[in-house]
Amino acid sequence: MKKVFTLAATALLLGSLTSTALADGHLKQAAEARQSAMKLYAFSLGQLGAMVKGEIPYDAAAAEGAAKNLLALATLDQSAFWSAGSGSDGALGSMTRAKPEIWSTYPAVVEKSKAMVAAAEEMAAAAGTGVDGIKANIGKVGGACKACHDDFRGPKQ
Amino acid sequence: MKKVFTLAATALLLGSLTSTALADGHLKQAAEARQSAMKLYAFSLGQLGAMVKGEIPYDAAAAEGAAKNLLALATLDQSAFWSAGSGSDGALGSMTRAKPEIWSTYPAVVEKSKAMVAAAEEMAAAAGTGVDGIKANIGKVGGACKACHDDFRGPKQ
């Protein structure tokens, strides 16, 4: 992963990415972008979960930061992350677990995204008020993750 | 990378991450979070760069979305992504190129971050106005990436 990032960043900064390479790598880059966003969701949710479980001490600023990160991620413009053809039925195959239903039932997936934004908004408002604020909202956030995964993420391969 | 994300997400969602696993994986998760953020920066900047180079047609909504993504990424609370001990001089070693100077000269790195936020704000305001709006700002955004990399990212290993 580090090598991929490094190559991409270097190419972008130096303006040396050719049209051909861009076309070839387009779907892979899209899938990696959404996987990066998912990893950041998991990281921020993990911080909040660790506070709830007492694995790390509650810290209001850190909790609010993590919750606001969740909201920022949920409100990213992800349209380019989900390019047509970048599902598990396309050229990427097992590199992605994104089910074809994401595209074939569109905009159903958008409703899942809206639920995540709503849950993240409530978490962002509550997480800095105390660990109980996290507890009151973490189920809804996790449920929004799960609801989308249940419908639109395929099994491990 | 997908396997790591999948394991982390599953563990977080199911609440099955033990304290030991959390402590062991803490530094690695932090490094992966920042690498994910960097990948998303590169992806969004790549979209804008491709429009400037004419590799993809200019699209006002997509350009504004990408630019706003850059700003959202630049304003994430990244404090937990840069845990003390997660530099290339620590346990992670060559898994990260983050130089010890990030921590030893702190808060110097914060100035680099502020420059990125400022550049991203200008890009977010301009990218939707036309390809010239991107052109006018992409050098400053790329320069903000480079300025931080020059000082705080070590060589490829």
The answer, yes or no, to whether the previous bond of A155 is cis (omega within 30 of 0) is: no
Q: How far is CA A56 from CA A53, B13, B99, in A?
A: 8, 17, 26
Residue B6: pLDDT over 70: no
Contact B97 A2 (CB under 8 A): yes
Query: Which pair of tokens denotes residue B20?
Result: 């030991």
Q: In a 3-state reduction of DSSP, which class is residue B20?
A: helix
Residue B127: pLDDT over 60: yes
Q: In a 3-state reduction of DSSP, which class is residue A98?
A: strand
| Cα B122 from Cα A45, distance rounded (Å) | 30
Q: What is the predicted pLDDT for the residue at B15? A: 43
Confidence band, pLDDT 50/70/90 cuts, at residue A25: confident
Nearest CB to A2 within list B33, B35, B53: B35
CA closest to B35 among chain A residues = A2
Rounded to 5 degrees, φ, ψ at B106 are -55, 135
Q: Which residues of B fall within a CB distance of 8 Å from A6?
A: 97, 156
Contact A39 B142 (CB under 8 A): no
Residue B18: pLDDT over 60: no
Contact A37 B37 (CB under 8 A): no
Q: What is the predicted pLDDT for the residue at B124? A: 98
Q: Determine contact, residues A88/A94, Cβ cutoff 8 Å.
A: yes
Give the pLDDT confidence of A86-111 residue by residue, as tens digits.
999 999 999 999 999 999 999 999 99
What is chain A's mean pLDDT, rounded?
Answer: 88
- DSSP code, position A156: P
Longest dimension (CA), chain A: 52
Q: How far is CA B91 from CA A45, B79, B95, in A?
A: 24, 19, 9
* Sign of the Cα pseudo-torsion (B19, B22, B27, B30, in order): negative
Residue B84: pLDDT over 70: yes
| Cα B130 from Cα B45, distance rounded (Å) | 16
ipTM: 0.84
Give the pLDDT confidence of B23-60 residue by residue, as tens digits.
448 999 999 999 999 999 999 999 999 999 999 999 99
Confidence band, pLDDT 50/70/90 cuts, at residue A125: very high
Contact A42 B12 (CB under 8 A): yes
Whether pTM > 0.90 for this model: the answer is no
| Cα A156 from Cα B6, distance rounded (Å) | 8
